[in-house]
């Protein structure tokens, strides 16, 4: 297929945004073989977002098994904040692999592990106490970081209840699924879940119909207190677990003052405030931590995704007295803090630090482009996000705000056909979200935004008025 049509514009393959023609009528032998392997051996429960097989990736681009190139505006779901295979990250991984790949850190520690903990302590949110009293452990996945944060909080407070939020996502292990507030299909059919987990409404100003300002904060916090009072025996509260910006649940930025209010509730009830910064942290929003925009100090932070620069690595760290609370041997992991992943992390954090200042520019060009789009495409209900964590919420009608989930999927598919990868999100799947690399060249970012805008206009005009 030599030409593709996105929105009202016809674009031939010479001016395509992301390399080669994105729609191929004939699959290569390799793609056919991989499709057949997938159908034979991959569990159907592992639903795939895109029907393509990635062969290679560099910077903001990924190439599939047909040789088609995509502009990746997902950053590998928030992992490749410094772009795919940044040369300094690759060099650091290689150098470590020349030394050793694994001698279980549980058994004998390695230098990169300790340097990652030291680096995380040096960038810990202000107000957590002296940097040299910040402690933690390294794990492999985000879910493990959250699980261990809850273990720390329970061991420290000697209490058990955990308050999380509706619409949140914290992982796919049974405890983190229990904590997750986004239900279908994530939680369906896997219960029973561990007890003593409660959910309060998040401050979702767009859906709650309040202007995003401090004025509505007391109302949002009153709902949180009501859940604590009515269902969660507040005296037994070990922790509040919060995404400072909700990720999978639709890039919901709470109004200023909401996170501070949660801090105050924790202080009153002797509970631990855990910031799940797995998606929002590590420079994604233009600061090391999304909670840093509000100058609120959590007690524990969970980090993962971008930490390992593409290799699996996660961390939970925070106040020493909390991290030291469990009995020795109470936490650990065979692979946690893998030295190659730690070496990659040290290099990736350097790259992120160098490019973090570009996040506000990505946000302002996104807002400008999407606000203009909103004027033309009535399905754009809300434009939101912070730094390089950006989204539009699609609705069938601006007044009723009925979620337009099918349209969001259509937009995602049209973008893919045009060679651009974007993700959906939200409890109803009606949010289109972008997590571009901070290193994305301006021209590619503009191409990505234009492609998204065409696809949204197309989906908008396909809807009956």
Ligand X SMILES: Cc1ncc(COP(=O)(O)O)c(C=O)c1O
| CB closer to ligand X, 113 vs 169 | 169
| CB closer to ligand X, 247 vs 387 | 247
Residue 155's CB is within 10 A of a number of other CB atoms, namely: 17
What angle in degrees, to the nearest 10, is found between the helix axes of 359-376 and 442-461?
Answer: 20
For residue 122, which of 113, 130, 114, 131 has the smallest C-alpha distance?
131
Residue 247 binds ligand X, judged by CB under 6 A:
yes
Residue 169 binds ligand X, judged by CB under 6 A:
yes
The residues with which 237 forms a beta bridge, in sequence order, are 161
Which residues in the 353-372 window bind ligand X by CB under 6 A? Answer: none
Q: Which of 243, 294, 450, 458 binds ligand X (CB under 6 A)?
A: 243
CA 462 to chain centre: 30
| CB closer to ligand X, 280 vs 451 | 280
Q: Are 383 and 110 in contact (CB under 8 A)?
A: no
Report in angstroms how near the CB of residue 108 gets to ligand X at its nearest.
Answer: 26
Q: Which of 18, 73, 143, 228 binds ligand X (CB under 6 A)?
A: 143
| CB closer to ligand X, 23 vs 54 | 54
Report in angstroms how near the CB of residue 134 gets to ligand X at its nearest.
Answer: 20
| Span of 24-32, 168-176, 221-229, 282-290 interacting with ligand X by CB under 6 A | 168-176
Tell whether the torsion through CA atoms of 129, 131, 137 and 141 is positive or negative: positive
Tell whether the torsion through CA atoms of 415, 417, 423 and 427 is positive or negative: positive
249 — phi, psi (to 5°)?
-75, 0
Return d(Cα 415, Cα 411) in angstroms, integer.
6
Q: Which of 76, 83, 136, 171 binds ligand X (CB under 6 A)?
A: 171
Which residues in the 30-69 window bind ligand X by CB under 6 A? Answer: none
Residue 244 Cα distances to 30, 294, 372, angstroms = 42, 9, 28
| Span of 241-249, 357-365, 377-385, 402-410 interacting with ligand X by CB under 6 A | 241-249
| Span of 22-30, 64-72, 167-175, 414-422 interacting with ligand X by CB under 6 A | 167-175
Q: Which of 74, 141, 148, 374 binds ligand X (CB under 6 A)?
A: 141
Residue 387 binds ligand X, judged by CB under 6 A:
no
Q: Which of 279, 285, 412, 424 binds ligand X (CB under 6 A)?
A: 279
Kind plus residue range of the DSSP H or E element containing 203: none
For residue 117, which of 85, 139, 100 has the smallest C-alpha distance?
139
Which residues in the 281-340 window bind ligand X by CB under 6 A? Answer: 304
- Positions touching ligand X (CB under 6 A) are 141-143, 146, 169-171, 243, 247-248, 276, 278-279, 304
């Amino acid at each position: 297929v030599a030409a593709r049509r996105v929105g009202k514009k016809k674009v031939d393959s010479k001016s395509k945004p992301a390399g080669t023609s994105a729609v191929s009528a004939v699959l290569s032998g390799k793609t056919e073989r991989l499709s057949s392997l997938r159908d034979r051996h991959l569990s159907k429960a592992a639903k795939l977002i895109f029907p393509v097989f990635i062969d290679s990736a560099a910077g903001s681009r990924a190439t599939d098994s047909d040789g088609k190139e995509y502009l990746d505006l997902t950053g590998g779901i928030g992992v490749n904040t410094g772009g795919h295979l940044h040369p300094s990250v690759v060099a650091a991984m290689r150098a470590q692999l020349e030394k050793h790949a694994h001698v279980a850190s549980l058994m004998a520690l390695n230098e990169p592990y300790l340097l990652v903990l030291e680096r995380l302590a040096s960038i810990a949110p202000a107000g957590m106490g002296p940097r040299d009293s910040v402690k933690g452990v390294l794990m492999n996945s985000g879910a493990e970081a959250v699980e261990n944060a809850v273990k720390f909080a329970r061991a420290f407070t000697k209490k058990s209840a955990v308050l999380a939020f509706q619409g949140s996502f914290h992982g796919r292990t049974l405890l983190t699924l229990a904590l997750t507030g986004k239900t279908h299909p994530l939680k369906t059919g896997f219960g029973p879940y561990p007890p003593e987990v409660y959910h309060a409404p998040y401050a979702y100003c767009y859906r709650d119909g309040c202007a995003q300002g401090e004025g509505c904060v007391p109302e949002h916090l009153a709902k949180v207190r009501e859940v604590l009072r009515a269902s969660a025996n507040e005296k037994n509260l070990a922790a509040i677990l919060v995404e400072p910006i909700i990720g999978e649940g639709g890039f919901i930025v709470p109004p200023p003052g909401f996170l501070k209010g949660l801090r105050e509730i924790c202080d009153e009830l002797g509970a631990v405030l855990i910031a799940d910064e797995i998606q929002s942290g590590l420079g994604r929003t233009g600061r090391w931590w999304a909670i840093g925009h509000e100058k609120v100090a959590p007690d524990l932070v969970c980090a993962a995704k971008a930490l390992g620069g593409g290799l699996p690595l996660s961390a939970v760290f925070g106040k020493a007295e909390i991290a030291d609370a469990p009995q020795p041997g109470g936490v650990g992991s065979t692979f946690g803090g893998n030295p190659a992943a730690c070496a990659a992390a040290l290099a990736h954090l350097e790259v992120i630090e160098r490019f973090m200042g570009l996040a506000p520019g990505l946000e302002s060009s996104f807002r400008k482009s999407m606000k203009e789009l909103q004027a033309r495409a009535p399905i754009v209900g809300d434009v939101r996000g912070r730094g390089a964590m950006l989204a539009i919420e699609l609705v069938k009608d601006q007044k009723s705000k009925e979620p337009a989930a099918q349209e969001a999927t259509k937009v995602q598919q049209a973008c893919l056909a045009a060679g651009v990868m974007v993700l959906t999100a939200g409890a109803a799947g009606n949010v289109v979200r972008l997590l571009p690399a901070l290193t994305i060249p301006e021209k590619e970012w503009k191409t990505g935004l234009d492609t998204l805008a065409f696809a949204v206009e197309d989906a908008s005009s396909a809807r009956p008025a």
